Structures are given as C-alpha cells and as structure tokens.
Structure 1
C-alpha cells in the first residue's frame, strides 16, 4: 500500500479541491433556458420594442394602459405607463406611446397619474397632460414627436376646472344629503379628458361606504358610484 507523508497528503487534497472548484465553475456557465414569450398582448408589444432592464420580470400588474385617438384619424393609439420599480423614480415612471399600428412613437420619463388628454393640440395631435413630481406638465407634439423629459415641460394649471368640478359635486343631491370629507382623487382613467375630475366623500347614512364622483367641468355632468370600505 502506498503511504503519503503529511506534506504529500496536504498537497494532494489541495489539488483535488482546485479540480472540484474548476469543475463547478464549468457547470455553472451553462446558459439558462430561454424565457417563454408573454401571453399578454400588451406585454408582447413591450417585449418586442422596449429594452427591459436587468432584473425585470414580466408581470401583468407591472403597467397600466389605455387606448385613445390622439390624432383624429379614427384609430386608437396605445399609451402604456410602467409601474414596476425598475422603471420608476421619485418624479415618476416611464411611459410609452404606440401609434395605431402598434409601433413605438414616443417615450416619456418621470411621469405618473393623472395622464390626461387636452382639448387642444399641435400638428393635429392632442396635447397630453401628465403629473411629474409635484406638478402637472403639458406635453405638446412638435411635428415629429412628444417631449422625452416631462420635468422640463411647461406647468399646466387645472385649478379653475377643479373649482368648477368641486362645486358640481358639492351641489349634487347625493352630497347635499349628508355628504362630508370631500377630497380629490388622482386615479382617473389613463387618457381621460383634462376637464374631468374625480372626488370621493362619505355620507352620514352609509358610514361603511365611500362615494366616488366623476365630474366634467365643461359638460357639467357628474357620475357617482360606491365603494364598500373593507374591514380587516
């Protein structure tokens, strides 16, 4: 039987450990299996035309979107606002506008809801009003594209429209009958009209519900619905 002294045994064990480590490194370099394409139609559009940052995983709740005709050709464009942390910062998140052929038309940075459509526009494309940081910003089409960075665009003032819409809700029969704690909400649908406002309030006769009022400052219309307060 072959005998090794202590020094020889140590050298042999050291070389063996190096071989095992190298073998493990070779095994770990095997490429990962390809990711299956997403089933969600909006995600398919995004995956085809947007470069996702490292670490992003496709999730159905990672974005909100809406369709609207922005250029008056009777065909809808698609607006997508990302919600995943990989696309968001303190001022807002990244948004994408796709034309009616689902081709990427514009990219917006640092935006958040509300995202609204103005009644006016440039070059036959409607102006878009977005929240960015603590302000509303007006995004105007320049003949080729919308601006990329919302934070550098003009501030848009909705105070007069808000005052009209607020008065419409306060004077409504539903609010007059025991309404209180009226406050504005920012969760309007994406690409809602810029003159549209959303409020919530409670009523003394139904303390377990929150009433939602959507008011249009131009038409004077107010629509109500009710949300039941969830108790844990």
Structure 2
C-alpha cells in the first residue's frame, strides 16, 4: 500500500503533468537524448530513411542539413504500421529553431514510400499510437496547446487542424503509472525525485509512460523507468 508521503507525491506529479507550460519545449532540451534519436538508433536503415526524408522533403533545396542545437539532435522520429498493411509509417518532429516556436515544433507523417501523409505545426511530445482506429488507420495522440489531442483518419487523411481534434485525457492511466513506478524495485531501491518525462519514443503506446528519477547515492545522475499500464510492467530505460 502506498503510504501518505508517496500518495502526496503521486498527486503532485499528476498535477504537474496536467499543467503543461508553454516553454516546455525549451525545458525538454535539458533532457538526455533517448534511443529514438537519429544518433542512437541501432537500426541504421531506419535512421538513413528518416534522414533522407528530412533532406528531400522537409528542408529547402539550398538548406544545409541541420546540426545539433542546444544539445538536441535536429529531429526525432518513430515508426509504426498505422494501417496494418505490413509497412511502417514514419513520424518526424523537427527540433531546430527554424522549425520551432515557444508553442511547439513542426511534425510530419510519411509513408514507407516517402509520400507525405500529413503535417502539423506547434506540436510537442509525447506522440503516441492510440488503441482506437478510424477508417482502418490507428489514431495518433499529439501534444498541442497544453493538451493532448486525438488525431483521427477521416475523409482520406489525418486531421491537421488540431483545434477540431478531440482532446485526449489520460490522467487516470497516469495515476496508475505513477503507482507502478513508485512500487517498482528500481525506485524502492534508493530512488527519489520521480517525475514524468516527455522524451519517450515517438509512436510509443497509449498506455506507455516514461519517468525520470534520481538515486540517493547518485544524485547527480538521471535514471529512467518505462511503465506500461496495460500489462503492468516497469523496466529501466533505455
């Protein structure tokens, strides 16, 4: 049973997660790179494919390939088979100043043939694959304007006007995820400062959450836990 101190921490974390402030993109620049980064992905073919899309279809013809800015890679990407046809789509979110404002960054969805399927402005992570589908395509969950939105595939394409997309509320699942993280052997073994972390991989699952925490004996280092509330698993990350 979670004690009163842990219960207080649980509600504090959820409250902080619900109140997303506008400059969260810049705060995320302080987070460590995670394995969906183009520089850390072990699948070289996927890394090359994403880089080719950025070079051909996102950058201007005379624009140099973006470099690391403020310790961040120029973009992040993730793959998922959204229409169950055996081929993955790729989602790319840019992270350089040219593609970002204080409200978020530009994101793009491409097919396995490098056809652009949709694009969005002023979005931020997490970008997740939802459980539900519309017209044979899985919904996408995207952060925008201090809310999470459910992006549905309607009339031959994904919604791009986020003001018309329904909101998605996962606070109940977040509460469960916090409890699982607090009760895990990794956190109970000297863990402290548990916090939701929005740098989880692009196209992670709807029930997936990422947490950062410290250890009392290694307070200068950050550690990460990946929590899946559907199968009730907690693992270290990456």
TM over 0.5: yes
SS at match of 1:57: coil
Give the corresponding residue for 1:71: 83
Deviation at 1:150, TM superposition (A): 2.3
SS in 2 for 1:168: helix
User: Which blocks of at least 5 consecutive residues in structure 2 are unaligned?
Assistant: 1-47, 68-72
Aligned partner of 2:190 in structure 1 is 178
Deviation at 1:214, TM superposition (A): 0.6
Q: In the alignment, which of 30, 53, 65 is matched to residue 58 of structure 1?
A: 65
- In 2, the alpha carbon distance for the partners of 1:206 and 1:49 equals 44
- Do the aligned partners of 1:214 and 1:223 also contact (CA within 8 Å) in 2? yes
When the two structures are superposed, what TM-score results if normalisation uses the length of structure 2? Answer: 0.71
Work out the CA distance in 1 between the residues paired with 2:196 and 2:169. 15
Aligned counterpart, 1:100: 112
CA 102–79 in structure 1, closer or farther in 2 if over 3 Å, else same: same
1:75/1:41 CA distance change after superposition, 3 Å: closer
The answer for the alignment partner of 1:34 in structure 2 is none
Provide the residue aligned with 1:192 in structure 2: 204
The equivalences for 1:10-49 within 5 A come to: 41-49=49-57
**Partners of 2:202 and 2:237 in 1: how far apart?**
19
Matched, 1:202 2:210: no
- In structure 2, relative to structure 1, the CA distance for the partners of 1:179 and 1:73 (3 Å cut) is same
Counterpart of 1:130 in structure 2 is 142
Q: How many residues align?
A: 187
Structure 1 residues 171 and 71: CA distance shift in structure 2, 3 A: same
* CA spacing shift, 1:59–1:180, aligned 2, 3 Å: same
Partner of residue 140, structure 1:
152
CA positional deviation for 1:211: 2.2
Shift of 1:225: 4.2
Q: CA RMSD in A?
A: 2.3
State whether residues 108 and 147 of structure 1, in contact with CA within 8 Å, keep that contact through their aligned partners in structure 2.
no
Secondary structure of the residue aligned to 1:105 is strand
**How far off its partner does 1:41 sit?**
4.1
Residue aligned with 1:45, SS: helix
State how far apart, in whole Å, the 2-side matches of 1:114 and 1:102 are. Answer: 23
Q: Secondary structure at the match of 2:173?
A: helix
Aligned-pair distance for 1:142? Answer: 0.3
Contact 2:50 2:90 in 1 (8 A): no
Which protein, 1 or 2, shows the higher relative CO under an 8 Å CA cutoff with sep ≥ 6? Answer: 2
SS at match of 2:221: strand
Question: Contact (CA 8 Å) 1:91, 1:111: kept in 2 or not?
Answer: yes
Asked whether the 8 Å contact 1:202–1:211 carries over to 2, the reply is yes
Q: Which residue of 2 aligns with 1:155?
A: 167
How far the C-alpha of 1:63 sits from its partner, in A, is 1.4
